[in-house]
Structure 1
Amino acid sequence: MCGQESLNDMLSTTGNPCDDIQQLNGAISVWEYLQTAEVSERLISSLNLFREELAMAQIAYDLNNPNPAPEDVIHFVDTFDEWMATSIIRMEETSRNIVNGAITNMDALWTEVSTSTADEDRRELAYTTLEHLDNMRHHVDRINFPRINLGIRFPGSGNKV
């Protein structure tokens, strides 16, 4: 833990935790927005339109390369599906890690404030902040994208086009 001087330094640079909490809520809200039916359907529709374009490009490629060597075979749609699935999973993991890390760091700071400060208002702010952080921990699982509705295949999900 930190001494009173460094705690005061942190508090002077940390300021009001509301901005940080709003940013974390915003990160979670983006994923909740992506899960709404209208947005999800539009995104999935766009992805599937792009997949159709890739399928047409695949036909043109195959017509121009009728007997490719095995190492030259390209599967445009499958490659895109694999890339997109991996990218979405990576975005989810990165978002969860960032939010969880920020919650952990803020929790440590505001726990220190709650136990170290004699200022009643600052202690009240710390307790309120800790309550918000605890609540936020239960919302991190909202950072996901529904796999069963996507036209792309996710590793191990069993969903097929």
Structure 2
Amino acid sequence: MKDLTIAIALRIMLIVSFCLLMFSVLYNTGANQNSSHLYYQAFMLLSFLLIYFHQRKHIKKNGGRIAFHGHIIPEFNPQDEREHQISGEAYKIAFSTILVISFLVIGGVAFFQLFDSILQPLLLSLSIGFIPISGLLAYFFAYRHYYKK
């Protein structure tokens, strides 16, 4: 469970850093240009490196070659039938959450024209980043619920 918590927290950090970078690129065009997007790029690079080093334990040597088994969500025990069932239920709930949230976000994007032009890039980047974050959180809470059952 600790490995899953770390993996999901790192992925959320990567999505948030991408949203911040996208906001700085959208907002800092034309006369408003400044170098704040360099900080967001460094934050994104840091999150990539943390994910890489966290998944480094999934590297296995097979006959002299290294096969990197990178997963979005870490696999725990491939021979355990209970964990397969728990993961399947959690994936189903996460997929349903992404479908519902994406329609809500698409509907909400239509109302972004009502806000000031300064808030539009921020709302757009946060709404795009909210879709995968909601799926990751739904997976985490569903897995935790079924695991403790």
* Same fold by TM-score greater than 0.5: no
Q: Which has the larger radius of gyration?
A: 1
Give the TM-score of the pair, scaled to structure 2: 0.31
Which has the larger strand fraction?
A: 2
